[in-house]
Structure 1
Amino acid sequence: MRNRTTLSKLFNFSGIEVTPAVALDYAKFKPDANEKDADRTIPIYSLDIKANLIKISNDGDVRQSIQPRVMAVYIPFEDQSEFPFIDTLMPDFNYFQLFNENRFIGNDRIGDTSKISYGIVAKRTRIQSGKDFFEFTLGQTLHLKDEKVAMPGESLRRSGSLTNLASMNIAMTESLSLKLDHYWDSDVDQIKRSQIGIEYKDSGSKRLNLAYRFRKQNIKQVHGSFSWPIRDQLSFIGHYKYSIKDRKTIDQFFGLNYETCCWSISAVSRKHLVYRNGETDTSFSVQFMFKGLGEFGTPINRIFEDGIFAYDQS
């Protein structure tokens, strides 16, 4: 059982939004009938400051925006060793994660921290189409104290360490975009993650992505994915991920997606490598979704989020 209570207030000072917040995160876990319940209550303090500065070009065709943001977070240390690791994950570091209070995803762990995160997003957007033809993102987190709560195998941040990220999206044509993403650690001068990708997306439903990804664990991968209409409302979808280092296929799926204005259904056949034992696993997934309500079946969008570079259904 987990419950979170938050008290916050938004202040607007001539377009600058300031949001102080205090939260209490409570969780209780019952190991089994013979063991004592484990519980924790952790306070979370944050101060979020952001702005959106907009300028329209003289001809009225282009909107230029600069979005600076600063966020301070303090979460005291709480021993959570009695809680098991059931659904806690360490997500990929990105601009949205930069401003998350908790560095973990899931219910089992709240990461202690004292940090200041700051970043900026600059965009140039065509007003008529609403398409961003240039976007640049730069962000950094300064850690003010040593971290203590960790997942198995995770390296903890020390006081004074810096985490950095930069990304850039450039629309080369109306349908073709170049995407760059870079995440590095200043203290050890080490690249954590880097990727480059090309995305084709027309005004309809045609979409094609190619990407190269590098990670610090000497992971070098090539990704390819697509969503291509066969006929009205029916599309052929697929993804292929190949490890250059291991010279083998890591993940692949192919399937069909049928979509209407109110609902959609997807069916996917997937074959992927199981890293625990090196064997491959084959599965078939079906998802039925009412738009705006929820989904039934295997969450195929989770596969897409990893399988298709910057996947969205817009």
Structure 2
Amino acid sequence: APAYYITPKLGLHHTRYVMGENNAAGLPGAVRTVPIFSVDSGVIFEREGRLFGQGFVQTLEPRAYYVRIPYRDQNQLPNYDAALADFSFAQMFTENRFFGSDRIGDADQITLALTSRLLDQGSGAERFQVAVGQRFSAQAPQVNLVAPAGNIPNKSDILFAAAGRISPAWLLDSALQYNPNQSHSEKFNVSLRYLPESGKVLNLGYRYTRDSIRQVDMSAQWPLSGRWHGVARWNYSIRDDRILESLTGLEYNEKCWTIRFVAQRFATATQQVSTGFFVQLELNDLVMVGSDVLSSIRQSVPGYTKLNELLNDKPVQGLR
């Protein structure tokens, strides 16, 4: 029999503001009390099969998430930290469409999603996942950061996602946000990673946000010769026809110590850039001297492996 779950939740969000005489609303204080009700439910179906000669388990996971929050006029309340949360799969299954506590969005909505996973039959490890989801509202929400809320569609954008290992060395991660009300894509991200072994990684990504972002992002870590490795990143804006960020570096490991040399370049304004050269010496994973080059490399090169973790375990091989 398939597994299932039903999780009801009932809460009360109470906020009291104590404000000075010179506050923007001209009020000495304000109180807001909002009841919140939600139900999260889902079913997990499984079937066994074989793909490319290997056994796997495929799941089919429909999910429904209902939220009811009555409207409360919050136009006279201060807003210190509330902002509209970015629409995503994670946000679709939350009660409040704002983050921060200064705005609690009204809601009478249900989110429907369908996920399918491929699991390794022996270990249960997830190999690949695809998902689709959309939110439906019984009425347009009224609470917003700026009054009035405006014309908000009763149907949200549709989210699609696909991610996982497409071969032992290749990984894919992609997501699409499609606007069915205007028949166009709002966002699209895709990244491909080649990781044949630790210390060898190539990344290629593309990011698109309608009317604002069209970027290509490439990065790599690769052995060069002996104990030398190279790292690099190149982030290019197609829309602006300029390099937003680039990083080029060399690393050398001698078992007890590692030294890193990095040149980094950032776009700081429309026609301006900032360039820096950094050196870091690491002593046996205990002490680091110089600029924090390691953090910059890790942030720039997904899948990066520290050389002292890599080279102390096996002999170094150069490029073949």
> What TM-score do you get using the length of structure 1 for normalisation?
0.67
**1:24 and 2:12 equivalent?**
yes
Structure 1 position 174, deviation (Å)? 0.8
Tell me, yes or no, if the aligned pair for 2:48 and 2:55 is still in contact at 8 Å: yes
> Who is 1:249 aligned against?
243
In 2: Cα distance, 1:151 partner to 1:34 partner: 21
Distance 1:244 1:113, change over 3 A: same
Pairwise mapping of residues 210-249 of structure 1 onto structure 2 (< 5 A)?
Answer: 210-225=204-219, 240-249=234-243
Match of 2:33 among 23, 28, 41: 41
For the residue of structure 1 that corresponds to 2:193, the secondary structure is strand
* Count of equivalent residues: 271
- In the alignment, structure 2 segments of 5+ residues that lack a partner are 251-261, 279-294, 305-320
Judge conservation of contact 1:145–1:158 (CA < 8 Å) in 2.
no
SS in 2 for 1:61: strand
Point out where structure 1 has 5 or more consecutive residues left out of the alignment: 1-12, 257-267, 285-299
Deviation (angstroms), 1:22: 1.2
Matched, 1:83 2:75: no
Change (3 A) 1:61 1:181: same
51 and 253 in structure 1: CA distance in 2 versus 1, 3 angstrom threshold = farther
For the aligned residue pairs, the C-alpha RMSD in angstroms reads 4.4
AA matched with 1:86: D
The answer on whether the counterparts of 1:20 and 1:48 sit within 8 Å (CA) in structure 2 is yes
User: Structure 2 CA distance, aligned partners of 1:74 and 1:218?
Assistant: 34
What amino acid is aligned across from residue 70 of structure 1 in structure 2?
Answer: A
Point out the more displaced range, 135-144 or 49-58: 49-58
Give a deviation string over 1:92-112, Cα, whole Å, max 9, x none.
Answer: x22222212112222332222
Larger Rg: 2
* Rounded Cα–Cα distance in structure 2 between residues aligned with 1:98 and 1:255: 40
- The question of whether the paired residues in 1 share the 8 Å contact of 2:162 and 2:175 is answered with yes
1:294 corresponding residue in structure 2: none
> Any conservation in 1 of the 2:160–2:175 contact (CA below 8 Å)?
yes
- Structure with the greater relative contact order (CA < 8 A, sep ≥ 6): 1 or 2? 2
State the shift of 1:164 in Å: 0.5
Pair 1:174 & 2:168 matched: yes
In structure 2, how many angstroms separate the alpha carbons of the residues matched to 1:160 and 1:99?
Answer: 17
8 Å Cα contact 1:213-1:221 kept in structure 2: yes
Letter in 1 for 2:42: K
